[in-house]
Amino acid sequence: MKQFHAIVSGRVQGVCFRAETAAAAQRLGLRGFVRNLADGTVEVRAAGPAADIEQFLVYLHRGPRIARVDDVRLDWTARPPLPEGFEVRR
């Protein structure tokens, strides 16, 4: 089981990034959440099997078709437990 925290920057708000990211994570069976931050970035925390996490990271670096991902800052430090399933937070 791997877990990460990411801050995604670029054109990532107002382009369905949260909904599409949650859908991608749910398809992979990951736990965690995605939410917009006040500075225009998107925060993502996710946990799951290593192969699924790697596949999800490929998605995060690309994002939805209408988004533009400029950077994904990753932190692999363990954090408190994540919710069951994957949710969009406000």
Angle between helices 50-62 and 17-28 (to 10 degrees): 160
Q: Which two tokens stand for residue 49?
A: 């099997």
Per DSSP (E only), the strands in 1-90 are: 2-11, 31-36, 42-48, 68-75, 86-89
CATH 3.30.300.30 fits domain 2-79: no
pLDDT, tens digit, for every residue of 3-38?
A: 999 999 999 999 999 999 999 999 999 999 999 999
From residue 6, give the alpha-carbon distance in Å to each of 22, 35, 48, 89: 14, 11, 15, 15
Q: Kindly name the residue from 36, 62, 65, 79 that is annotated as catalytic.
A: 36
Is residue 36 among the annotated active site residues?
yes
Model-level pTM?
0.95
pLDDT, tens digit, for every residue of 34-80?
A: 999 999 999 999 999 999 999 999 999 999 999 999 999 999 997 88
- pLDDT at site 81: 84
Is residue 27 among the annotated active site residues?
no
Q: Kindly name the residue from 11, 18, 89, 90 that is annotated as catalytic.
A: 18
Q: Length of the chain, please? A: 90
